[in-house]
Amino acid sequence: MQDPSEPLFRRVAGDALATHPEAQILLSEAGHRRVLAEQSAAEVRWRYDVMQADRLGYEELRHRLDPRRVRTIHFGVSMALLAALFAVLIVLNIIAFDGVLAGWVNSVAVAAAAAWIGCAWLAALALREEQRGRLAVIAAGALALDVVLATLHGNAPAAYPADRWYRYGVGAVAVLLVFVLVAVAAVLIARTEPASLLLAWHRWNRSRAAYAAAVRRHRDDAEAAAVARRGWHGLVQAHTPGPAEDKDRHPALPS
């Protein structure tokens, strides 16, 4: 059964379009705002699917790379700390090579610091994979190299015999600090979150922000569409002859 108010609305709308100068503008604006609201609603659904896919990808990657959530140190923080450790290692290597090398101390110290960081990375892999035998070999090799460096530093030419013991002490302290810093770097690397996991997290955050922006845009479009629809219906009701039977009912817009 056809709603009796719909033919009346269409007839009055046609009269309003034919006689009122603002009718066509209001109808066009209402249709335009309705289309924008529909488009933004479709974008919200699409953004939601993308956000959920990115979140699922992040969770699956985290389950694969860090199933027990032990790699909790932020990648950027870890890189900053490793850079600071690298600088300290260069200074300690310069102290250890002082008097042993002539003219190449700085270059060799930088190369040695890079080698120590590589050693820490190998130790971190052994620690993460729970290969205690390989970890013990790496630690023993690093300790033996420290002893060699301390001996070379102490055997450098000295003006007085007492200076030789002083150099032994300085060299021992320097290489001991190097060993400690390498151990700290190994633990830091083992606890650092994977770079791919960080990228997946940023991708999820971007899609979540895009979804929130799409929701806000759809809310604004829906409100604008409601205002335009009320304006058009108000114009039609103003041209309706006699009191309306149901003022609260708003039929659909004509196509």
Give the per-residue pLDDT at 246: 45
- Provide the residue type at 212 as one letter: A
Choose between 5 and 3: higher pLDDT. 5
Instruction: Assess if residue 251 is contained within a domain.
Output: no
- Per-residue pLDDT, averaged over 57-64, amounts to 94
Same domain, 211 and 164: no
Confidence of residue 2 (pLDDT cuts 50, 70, 90): very low
What is the DSSP-derived secondary structure letter of residue 103?
Answer: S
Residue with tokens 């059964």: 1
Give the per-residue pLDDT at 255: 38
Give the per-residue pLDDT at 235: 75
Per-residue pLDDT at 172 exceeds 80: no
Mean confidence (pLDDT) of the chain:
81
Mind listing the pLDDT tens digit for each residue in 217-244?
999 999 999 998 888 777 777 767 654 4
Give the per-residue pLDDT at 64: 92
Q: Which of 135, 159, 192 is the last residue of a domain?
A: 192
Same domain, 33 and 139: no
> CA torsion, points 160, 161, 167, 168, in degrees to nearest 10?
180
Q: Give the range among 49-63, 76-90, 150-164, 201-215 with minimum mean pLDDT.
A: 150-164
Give the per-residue pLDDT at 97: 74
Instruction: Assess if residue 252 is contained within a domain.
Output: no
Same domain, 32 and 115: no
CA 21-25-30 angle, to 5 degrees, is 140
Phi, psi of 28 (to 5 degrees): -65, -40
Percent of the chain predicted with pLDDT > 70: 75
Please give the residue range of the domain that contains residue 52.
5-63+202-238
Instruction: Assess if residue 20 is contained within a domain.
Output: yes
Per-residue pLDDT at 3 exceeds 70: no
